[in-house]
Amino acid sequence: MTNNHYYSFNLEGIHFVFLSFEFYETSPAQIQHSMYLWLDNDLRIANDDKHRKIWPWIVVLTDKPIYCTVEENNCRELYSLRQHWDELFNSYKVNLVLSGNKGYYER
């Protein structure tokens, strides 16, 4: 557990990861780096063949979106982070990213 700002758990065939991008944005570079390394390690383990057999889905939950096509500045405030996190999500075959804080449905 990481003080509830980012953590993961397994439930019913799903490996859930929660990330607080609000915490990430307001943290010093050292903490941001630690969070990124934690996520890289967590997803690497979750994507291992042994783990994927037990928990075949990886779902990331975030408090703010990094994916957004709505033409509003406040919806794209984290776009600069998109590539940074998107590379991890793709390389570890994350199945679904669900984000809060905005009232838009996109896929």
Written as tens digits, the pLDDT of the chain (107 aa) is: 456 899 999 999 999 999 988 888 889 999 999 999 999 999 999 999 999 999 999 999 988 777 776 666 556 666 667 777 888 999 999 999 988 766 555 66
Question: Does residue 107 sit within a domain?
Answer: no
- Intra-chain end-to-end CA distance of the chain, in Å: 30
97 has which bridge partners?
60
For residue 17, being part of any structural domain is answered with yes
pTM (two decimals):
0.84
Is position 105 within any domain? no
Instruction: Give the domain extent around 53.
Output: 6-99
Q: What is the pLDDT of residue 65?
A: 77
**Domain annotation covers residue 87:** yes
Residue 106 lies in a domain: no
Give the C-alpha separation, 83 to 50, whole Å.
28
Give the model's pLDDT for residue 30.
94
The pLDDT value recorded for residue 66 is: 76
Q: Would you say residue 28 lies in a domain?
A: yes
User: How far is residue 4's CA from residue 68's CA, in Å, rounded to a whole number?
Assistant: 25
CA 29 – CA 96 distance, rounded (Å): 27
Q: Are 60 and 96 in contact (CB under 8 A)?
A: yes
Structure tokens at 61: 């939950």
User: Residue 104's closest CA among 81, 82, 72, 56?
Assistant: 72
Tell me whether residue 1 is in a domain.
Answer: no
The tally of domains found in the chain comes to 1
